[in-house]
Chains A and B, each alone.
Chain A
Amino acid sequence: MSELPLTRNVRADRSPTDLAAYEANGGYGGLRRAMAGLAPGDCLDIVKDSGLRGRGGAGFPTGMKWSFVPMENVSPGHKYLICNADEMEPGTFKDRLLLECDPHQLIEGMILAAYTIGADVAYIFIRAEYLKAAQLLREAIAEAKAKNYLGRDILGSGYHLEMHVHASAGRYICGEETALISSLEGKRANPRAKPPFPQVSGLWGRPTIVNNVETLCNIPHIIERGPEWFQGLGLGGDAGTKLYGVSGRVKNPGCWELPIGTPVREILEDRAGGMEDGYQLRGFLPGGGSTDFLVDEHLDLAMDYETIGKAGSRMGTGTMIILDDRTCPVGFVKNLIEFFAQESCGFCTPCRDGLPWNAQVLDDIEQGRGQLEDMDTLEQHVSYIGAIGNTHCALAPGAMEPLQSALKYFRDDFLRHIEERTCPYREVH
């Protein structure tokens, strides 16, 4: 069994790790190492060399993202580091584990990230319903301050950082980094046009980095153990470990840290225990509600960015949702499209009007009122709304991913609804 740094303090009962327990297990070692002798540029090189890619869904190289923050000749004022803890992607429950079980790991990662980019203020943007996690983070920040891991002149280094928790008021679009910044400014969470990118002009017009919880939790280990160690954790082309999850009709749904690149089959069968008795696998979304379906033939693929991307989907958040043979694929996709339609910020027309239109068409088909032409309507929407560049942000193209792949893999199910004028799965649901 290889090393699993992110969950080493996660206990079976999921009780939180306090500061004493975190330190006893080597916690804040990465911070001590950096404050004792690493310049921000050294930390940036280490993270760049590690090959860490963002764990929020897009997989952008973390070191490269940070490198766009101006470090010299910056006008006077703040720079910001924001942790995106607005975990609202349907089927995604991995950041909750890290937040509830090991809050100091996140805080240490945030201090190191903020130090690297020269930020003096950090925020944790956490979704409204994660009440326990938000409380634990507030307590952990107070504990860290008392030990001078936060505040003025951290560990005698001359570096200052303050950290705040902002609990959201609930809206999926806040997970989009520029929408999150709008929301943190107290506004409606409309995404912003890029450029300018947040690294240059983010929160209140100042240089800002937004990183996912899991991404930031990797940083203390990378700084302490080095890039070669981190690269050695992965099985294929990607570096590190990944929190993988499975939900749906499997025997043992859950979330596990595994080497990145672990085959889908191993996650599904060895960890999740395979399908529940009486249920067969029909397909799965590899990484949350805005990723394309994959099917049986993809079970032996490695769960990493490249491999899942080549198969026509995205690893996304790495938390798989399983479609079984007794659940209606049309109803499944309708549920997702209704979610995205509701959570659209309403700023651009294809998303605001197109998603409810799709939801209506899918409802017609699912209720047995569909026509064959409805299939063309859905295909048109997939090609128009699904194309990057036709919408203000990635929400609507993401919403089209499960639909377009359902039309490809489960077309017969759509047609049966239309021909039989009812849902063939009706007795089951």
Chain B
Amino acid sequence: MSEQLHSLPAETLTLSDAELAEIDAEIAHAPYRAAVAIDALKIVQAHRRWVSDDCLEALAAYLEMPPAELEGIATFYNLIFRQPVGEKVILVCNSVSCWIKGCEGIRAAVTEHLGIEPGQTTSDGRFTLLPITCLGACDRAPVMMVGDNKFEDVTVERIPAILEQDEGATPG
């Protein structure tokens, strides 16, 4: 058994059976393995919150593509994380309808409540704050997401209850 494990490329061991099963399901209806690169990055991220160098290399080997090419894809997209993020990612919309309605104040209130700037993670690992483009709920601006939940008509006063109790959450 151990001999068999050693015969595999070391990097393929990084990905779990569950991850590989989900990736295989995508490959099943793709014309070639590298075609599922984005789905696969999202699957790995769903399991681990972010995509580490080890995971990226293992995934590239599994998809039969150069790691540099997969890195180019991973870093192109706003919501593939190549650095560790907290348990919940906070996305504060900063596009024009939310800007009119004061999203800069919302972002400042989150920063003040958690003590982190955009791009940073709280020291307890609970939250990462990121800016995001228009979330497509402009009639309810300002809008933000915390993890998988969406919050509409956000006010500065609501920020503590939103962050601590998910108050007023609707599915994303």
* Residues of chain A having any CB pair with chain B under 8 Å: 87-93, 95-96, 121, 127-132, 162, 164, 166-172, 183, 185-189, 204, 245-249, 253-255, 289, 319, 321-324, 327, 331-332, 335-336, 339, 342-343, 345, 429
Contacts and interface: CB of A to CB of B under 8 A. Distances in A.
A162 B73 CA distance: 27
A321 B138 contact: yes
Q: Which secondary structure dominates where chain B touches chain A?
A: mixed
B80 interface: yes
9 contacts: A93-B139, A127-B136, A131-B171, A186-B30, A187-B37, A189-B76, A321-B100, A322-B100, A327-B100
Contact of B97 (A91, A164, A185): A91
Q: Which of A132, A186, A188, A289 has the most CB of B within 10 A?
A: A186
Contacts of A188: 72-73, 76
A247 B37 contact: no
Interface in B87-104: 91, 94-97, 99-102, 104
Contacts of B135: 129
A381 B119 CA distance: 31
Given A188-B73, A247-B141, A170 B136 contact: no
Given A164-B29, A248-B100, A92 B134 contact: yes
Contacts of B29: 121, 162, 164
A186 B38 CA distance: 5
Contacts of B38: 166, 168-169, 183, 186
Interface in B41-71: 41-42
Contacts of B101: 248-249
Contact of A172 (B37, B91, B133, B145): B133
B156 interface: no
B31 interface: yes
Given A162-B29, A319-B138, A187 B73 contact: yes
B100 A253 contact: no
Given A169-B42, A188-B72, A129 B172 contact: yes
Classify chain B's interface size. Answer: 35 or more
A362 to B, nearest CB: 13
B148 interface: yes
Contact of A332 (B34, B78, B91, B96): B96
A170 B139 contact: no
A129 B91 contact: yes
A279 B102 CA distance: 15
B140 interface: yes
Given A90-B95, A131-B148, A166 B134 contact: no
Contact of B76 (A96, A130, A171, A342): A171
Contacts of B73: 186-188
B71 to A, nearest CB: 11
A183 B76 CA distance: 10
B138 A245 contact: yes
Contacts of B95: 90-91, 289, 335, 339
Contacts of A87: 136
Nearest to A132: B171
Contacts of A167: 42
A339 B41 CA distance: 25
B172 A93 contact: no
B35 interface: yes
Given A129-B91, A169-B79, A170-B77, A90 B134 contact: yes
